[in-house]
Structures are given as structure tokens and as C-alpha cells.
Structure 1
Amino acid sequence: MLHPVLVLVSVSARGLVPSFNGVVEGCDVFDGSWVRDETFPLYNSSLCPFVERGFNCLANGREDREYLQWRWKPRLCEIPRFDVRDMLQRLRGKRIVFVGDSMSRTQWESLICLLMTGVEDPKGVYEVNGNSISKTIQFLSVQFRSFNFTVEFFRSVFLVQQGLPPRNGPKRVKMTLKLDKMDFMNQRWVDSDILIFNSGHWWTPTKLFDVGCYFQVGGSLKLGMPITSAFRLALETWASWVESMVNTNRTHVFFRTFEPSHWSGLGQKTCEVTKKPTIEAEGNIRSEFTDIIAEVAAKVKFPMTVLNVTMMGAYRSDAHIGTWSHPASILDCSHWCLPGVPDSWNELVFASLFREGWR
């Protein structure tokens, strides 16, 4: 029997959300707009040690601040405000796990900073292995000692295994993505209470074929397979893994969709960071990856939530890192400043949990 899947999308009735904490029944929380809210941002990035320097736009010289004061407002309802004291109590003894690429790491950092605003002693929040945040680190786990829960990040940009190719393959094949096998770290994701995935940004010719990485299924190379077909196979492998390995009576499973960027022209060499959100959705507002995620999710046999953040991010050309990166020579209109858009992703995660009667 197919289980219900909450796919929160602005183009489908599949995103209808029953009432919770005053939210109107039948509301698609992704059909909305950004409204100015002077109570935002929800935290000070300079006071949160888990915002990496590259995402802290204010510390990197950004002078305008209006981009910090926008709240996502669904058209037909309200989402619950982030009540940090309530969240900390609900998370006692639990384990939150993020799995994905640097966008996932940004959401991980955002959640830690949101939760730290309710902690009296910041020294009681620490990375369990004493590791610093970096672009390539494979695992980070932050403990909230007073509340006995962890917020963890696993770097798995493809979700499936990357390894050596079969013997006697073409010389151009240096490595392969094994589309029918999950990442080697998958066992470490299982015993979690909230499990949030993303993937997509590394599924490009530049990050695959240009470095000699091709696709493999079983013992066979799939040299002519399109990237979107490979992504679909990887997602089907992921869905089978969740069904067989994850206790969804305990674990709330989320998959976040592809986040829009706002590059100008080809080659990701120029972009303009605006002062305010745009009135019309801009950037890559349609994504084949987002469509594939929704299609695979519609067929799964376990309860899960698809967080479709693609359209809501399309209005936020003001919220990218731009030239306020670290080092400053790197132009970035893909990643987001913190505080910023990823904070709203986390608000929507908890809104979904409340909808499910989370305790």
C-alpha cells in the first residue's frame, strides 16, 4: 500500500496541508511571497560560531541589511513562528541528520544558529570531535549538551557511491557513480529522528564528465546515459534504501528540492545581487531535478515530505553571497547568506512536523 507523501509544491494539489497551530486547512505553504518583517533576522551571524565565514555576508563587508528582513508568507495561511524554547524541549534526546552537498551544510548551520538563540550557555553547544567547518569535511556533529540532542551533517553530494571504474574501461573513465549503490556512509544516517536529504548541484557535466566521472549500474558502464536519467536512477536507489533501512515510524524523512541560482548569462561568471526580493520569480525557476524528485516521491511506499524550495528561492536574488564571500575574489550567486533563505527552509521543516502531530 502506498503511504501518503506530503509534496509541498506550488503547482500541485499534492501540497495541501491540513491545519496545524492555526494554519488554514488546504493551504499550500509554497504558494506565497516574501513579506518585510522587522523582527527578522532570527539570529546574529556574528554571535553564532557555526556560521562559516564564507556565508557570513555582513562579516565579509556587505553593508545593506534589508535582505535580512524578509519572511516567507504563504498566500492562504501562516506558518508557525519559530519558538526556540519549544523546539529545544521537543528535540530532547533526538538526532537530526542532514545529508547532501554544501546547500545542506548551509541549512545545517542555519538550524544550529536558530536553536542556539535559546541556549543560556553557548559553551554547551559544540562539535563533538572538535572539527572545524570546511567545504570538504565529510562529517560534522554538534551536540546541545543541556538538551542531549545532536544536529549532524554528512557530506554526500551524489547520495550514491563514487568509486573506481570496472577494469578495462575506456581511459577517459577515471571514476564512476554506482547508481545502484548508496554512499558508503549510509549506515550512519539510519538511527535518526529527522533525516533531511538534498542532491542536484553536483549533477553537471563539469563535475562529472569533465573530471572523468561516468555512470555505472552493476558491473556495466553507462557512458551514454544522460545526467537526468542517472539522477532518477540514483533517486530510485535512495527510495529503495529508505524503504528497507529506515524506520519511518520513528524517522521523519525529508527531501529538499533544487535551489535556484541567479547567474547572468552562461558560465556562471557574472551575477547581480539585488537590494530587495524581485516581484517576479527569476533565475532557474524550473528544474528537471525538482521534477524528478517529485515524481520519484509520488511512487514511494513510505511517508516522507518533499520540501519544494525551488520557487520560493527564485524571488531572492538579493540573498545570495555575491561578492561578499571569503575569499572575496569568489563570485557566488548560488549559495545564500546567513541569516537568510535557509532559515525559512528550517521553519518549514518544523511546520511540517507540527502538521504531522509531532511531539
Structure 2
Amino acid sequence: MVCKLNSKLFGYLRPYTKRVLSFGHPIGGSQCKSKVCQSLNGVIVIGSFLCFLLAMACGYKYVLPESGAIIPNYVIPDSSHSNSECNFFDGRWVPDESYPLYNSSECPFAEQGFDCLANGRRDSGYLRWRWKPKNCQIPRFNVHAVLEKLRGKRVVFVGDSLSRTQWESMICLLMTGVEDKKSVYEVNGNKISKHIRYLGVRFGSFDFTVEFYRSVFLVQPGSVPKRAPKRVKLTLKLDVLDDISKEWIDSDVLIFNSGHWWTPGKLFEMGWYFQAGGKMKLGMSISAGFRTAIATWASWIENMIDTNKTRVFFRTFESSHWSGGTRQKCKVTRRPLSKTKGRDRSPFSNMVLNVVKNLSIPVTVLHVTPMGAFRSDAHVGTWSDNPLVPDCSHWCLPGVPDMWNEILFSYLLSQESVSLQGNGNL
């Protein structure tokens, strides 16, 4: 029975058996006529074929070795909307000894509170990681190419303290290519403050500015209407963009972020409530309020921004790594996490992605949420200017925000957009 089964199975391979075994003599030569011998020859053919496949696989792995990354890939949920095969946000963190790209202690525009090494952090491994997209490469940072690209331009960041961190990171990165450091200065002589509404740094040798506007909600704060409940101290006009929005219009690169202040602790518990159409919306949830505010932002972008001049970006929500719900416990690890533990997704990020997807004009989403989800090692922790207050929301500089800017520069320097939504020219 076994011989019959083997004979049928290997009968299909008989023409190939003779070719494979032609380099030597088949077992038994012409005297081997039994089905057992034929089956045995077939076994040799199959074995040879499997050895060939194994050798090919080993050769492939030898010729094309994988990177030494320990952080797994992450695919963003909306990658199907990408207009290019290159998705900068589908990737992993890999070790890279060429980082960091600057010394924050030598950058006068990096906040002392974000300079973790200067504030006593002893391990420096968190500085030596690079984000590696799955199907493409982020071009290595070329400071001179970026400086020339921005010559005569106006770069504007709008948002909360995470936006300010990216603003600081960009200035520090660009200063590495400027010979005369004194030609880089804050236009009003201001020092960086957590609460100042406007900061602008001018690169005199290249005639461009990198500006930051503090607008944590993007929409307009308002006074308390008459007959409002006593718990209402301030309102957010969800259908009106921030009154400083007129300053953002005449820019060449415009980068937004929001979401980190949209929490009960920073809204309802502080007496902030929503307003739309001149009426209070006391029962409106935070997620509904954010969705309405982003819709207001989208309408403003479509009606006020000339995308032939201005390249618009929106950076998504950044993951924090608090150990407890009270934001009192902050464990900063020595290495990135191997699992995101749900931090790779955010309802705020999803709302931004959905709104931008339906815009009639091009806006590029910097979907950095999954990137930060792994980086529990890169937070400020207790290495700030106030070590008594732990910080698992903000990032050390140098650090993760530098990678946001490297991706941003890649978009600006590329000839064609590889964004989630449309094209734009700088």
C-alpha cells in the first residue's frame, strides 16, 4: 500500500528526478526497477529540492539582513488613504549611534526643563534611536538643504506645549548649520516661557523665521454668558477659531496640534464649558467638543489658507506614559517598550484623520501617535527644572520631537507629497 501511494505521489516528479539525479547515478542504476527504488529516488529529489529552498532562504537572509531593531512594526489604521507607497508612520524604532543630532545645552532656545541630561539624567541610551519606516527611508537630516529650502520663508507652529517642544527642536536642529549663532535671535528679545502667546526666532543669515503661537484649544476662549450656572468660569466658543488666527494666514509652513488640554481636569474641573451659536452646551462631552472645534478649524483652513503658498500640517495626539490615572506616577524606562499597551491609538488622532480626509484642500497629517507609544524611555520624568513634579507627557530634548521634524523636513524637501491627504507646494 505504501509503495503504491509513493509511486503515485512521486510519479509526477519522475521527469524532474532524472534531471536532478543526472549529476550522478540513480540508486541501483538500470537494475533498480522496483517501486521501492523509484520511491526512494523520489525521496532524494524532494530532499534535494528542500535543501535548495533552505539554502536560498539562508542566502537571502545573509545578503539582506534585518535591522537590529527590537521595537515591532506598527501600521497606522488609515494607511489605505496614503497617496504613495512610502508611509512614514508605518515603521519601528531602531538603534542608531549617530544620534543625537545636537546638544541641547548648546542651544539657547531649548527649555531648561527639557534638557534632561543637564538636569541630572545619567543614562543616555534614549538619545540613540531612529524611526525607520517599513517600506522607505527617511532621508538623513541635511541641515544645509533645509536652511536653503526655508530661505525667505515663514514657519509657524500653533498649539500647546508639545507644539512648543517641536518648535524648540526645529530651532536647535537648524542652528547646527549656522556659523554665526548670534544671527539667530528671538524677534522681541523674549525668553522662552510656558505661557507667552507668541515666540518668534529669526535666522538672519537665511531670512526666515520659526514662530510659535500658543493656542491650546485652537478655538476662541470667551466670557461667561448671563444666567450661566455658577460652575461656569470661562467658555470655549467651538464655532470660532482663536482670535490670533489672523497671524497664521501669511505663512509658508503651518503646523498645528491640539488635544492635550481636552481633559476634564483642564476643562470642566477648571470651570471651562462649551459654547456654540451663542448658546451654552453644558451637556456636551469633551470628545464632541473637540470634534466641533476641529470642524471649525477645517472650515477656517478651507476658507482662509491659500495652499498655493502655504503647506499645512496637523500633528496628531502624543501618548503619555503615566503609571496611574492621577498623573502622579511616572516611570521612565531605560529602553523603549516592546508593546504599545493601547497607547498607539487616540480618539483625538482619529478625529483629526477623519476630518482631514474629507477636506477639499491638501493638508498633511503627521500621525505620530504610534511613534511615541513605544517611547516610555524618552520622557522628561523627574529630570526637569522642577524634579518634584514628575512629567510623563513631555519629551526630553534632544529626543522624539527631533524625529517629528526630520519627517516634516522630508515632506518639505520631497518633490511630490507622500502625505495622507493630497499634495502641497512649498
What's the TM-score once normalised by structure 1's chain length?
0.94
Alignment correspondent of 1:268 = 327
1:16 is aligned to 82
Aligned partners of 2:81, 2:163: CA distance in 1, in Å? 22
1:333 matched to 2:392 = yes
267, 273, 277: which one aligns with 1:218: 277
Residue 109 (structure 2) pairs with residue 43 (structure 1): no
Query: What is the CA–CA distance in structure 1 between the aligned matches of 2:183 and 2:81, rounded to whole Å?
Result: 38
Alignment of 1:94-109 (within 5 A): 94-109=153-168
Aligned partner of 2:309 in structure 1 is 250
Query: Distance in 2 between the 1:125 and 1:174 partners?
Result: 41
Q: Separation in 1 of the partners of 2:143 and 2:410?
A: 13
Change (3 A) 1:239 1:347: same
CA contact (8 A) 2:219 2:237 kept: yes
Where does 1:310-349 land on structure 2 (aligned, <5 Å)?
310-349=369-408
Q: 1:352 to 1:43 in 2, by over 3 A?
A: same
The separation in 2 between residues aligned to 1:234 and 1:9, in whole angstroms, is: 27
**Are 1:258 and 1:289, in contact at CA under 8 Å, matched by a contact in 2?**
yes
* 1:238-293 Cα shifts (integer Å, max 9, x gaps): 01101111111110000000000011121111121111111222463221101110
Is 1:63–2:63 an aligned residue pair? no
Of the candidates 350, 356, 375, which is equivalent to residue 291 of structure 1?
Answer: 350
Q: How many residues align?
A: 345
Tell me the residue number matched to 1:307. 366
Deviation (angstroms), 1:205: 0.7
Structure 1: 4+ residue segments shifted above 6 A:
none
CA deviations over 1:36-80 (Å, ceiling 9, x no partner): 111100111111001001100011000111100101001121111
Confirm whether residue 180 of structure 1 aligns to residue 239 of structure 2.
Answer: yes
**Aligned partner of residue 131 in structure 2, secondary structure:** strand
* Aligned positions of 1:194-213 closer than 5 A: 194-213=253-272
Report 1:231-242 matches (<5 A): 231-242=290-301
* Distance of 2:195 and 2:287 partners within structure 1: 25
- SS of equivalent residue, structure 1 residue 27: coil
Provide closer, same or farther for how the CA distance between residues 46 and 313 of structure 1 changes in structure 2, counting only shifts above 3 A. Answer: same
User: Mind listing any 5+ residue stretches in structure 2 that lack a counterpart?
Assistant: 1-73, 417-424
Distance of 2:306 and 2:415 partners within structure 1:
16
Q: 1:16 Cα shift?
A: 3.3
Amino acid at match of 1:251: T
Give the helix-richer structure, 1 or 2: 2
Superposed displacement of residue 95, structure 1: 0.1
Supply the RMSD in Å over aligned alpha carbons.
1.4
Give a deviation string over 1:135-173, Cα, whole Å, max 9, x none: 101000000000000000000000000120211211111
Check the 8 A contact 1:179/1:216 in 2, yes or no: yes
Residue in structure 2 matched with residue 112 of structure 1 by the alignment: 171
- Give yes or no for contact 1:60–1:326 (8 Å, CA) kept in 2: yes
Task: Supply the distance in 1 between the matched residues of 2:79 and 2:375 (Cα, whole angstroms).
Answer: 24
Q: Which residue of 2 aligns with 1:3?
A: none
Q: Given that residues 153 and 209 in structure 2 are in contact (C-alpha distance below 8 angstroms), is that contact kept between their aligned partners in structure 1? A: yes
The higher relative CO (CA closer than 8 Å, separation ≥ 6) is in 1
Structure-2 change in CA distance of 1:351 and 1:17 (3 Å): farther
How much has 1:343 moved relative to structure 2? Answer: 0.4
Supply the AA of the counterpart residue of 1:281. Answer: T
The correspondence of residues 141-152 of structure 1 with structure 2, limited to 5 A, is 141-152=200-211
TM-score (norm 2): 0.79
Kindly provide the CA deviation profile for residues 312-345 of structure 1, in whole angstroms up to 9, marking residues without a partner as x: 1011000000010111111000000000000000
**What residue number does 1:23 align with?**
none
Cα distance between partner residues in 2 of 1:33 and 1:219? 46
User: 178, 181, 186: which one pairs with 1:122?
Assistant: 181
User: Which amino acid is 1:59 matched to?
Assistant: A
Q: Is the CA contact 2:146–2:413 (under 8 Å) kept in the aligned structure 1? A: no
Letter in 1 for 2:274: F
Per-residue deviation, 1:34 = 0.7
**Residues 298 and 356 of structure 1, relative CA distance in 2, 3 Å threshold:** farther
Decide whether aligned partners of structure 1 residues 167 and 356 sit closer, same or farther in structure 2, where only a CA change above 3 A counts: farther
CA contact (8 A) 1:262 1:282 kept: no
Equivalent residue, structure 2, for 1:281: 340
SS in structure 1 at match of 2:205: helix
**CA distance, structure 2, for counterparts of residue 38 and residue 93 of structure 1:** 34
Counterparts of 1:17 and 1:9, CA distance in 2: 15
Equivalents in 2 of 1:301, 1:34: separation in Å? 34
Q: CA deviation at 1:353?
A: 2.3
Aligned residue number for residue 92 of structure 1: 151
Question: Bigger radius of gyration, 1 or 2?
Answer: 2
Instruction: Evaluate the alpha carbon distance shift between residue 98 and residue 111 of structure 1 in structure 2; reply closer, same or farther with a 3 A threshold.
Output: same
1:131 maps to which residue?
A: 190
Q: What is the identity, as a one-letter code, of the residue corresponding to 1:324?
A: W
Bigger strand fraction: 1
Contact 2:149 2:413 in 1 (8 A): no
Percent of paired sites with the same residue: 61
For the residue of structure 2 that corresponds to 1:191, the secondary structure is coil
Partners of 1:198 and 1:64 in 2: CA distance: 30
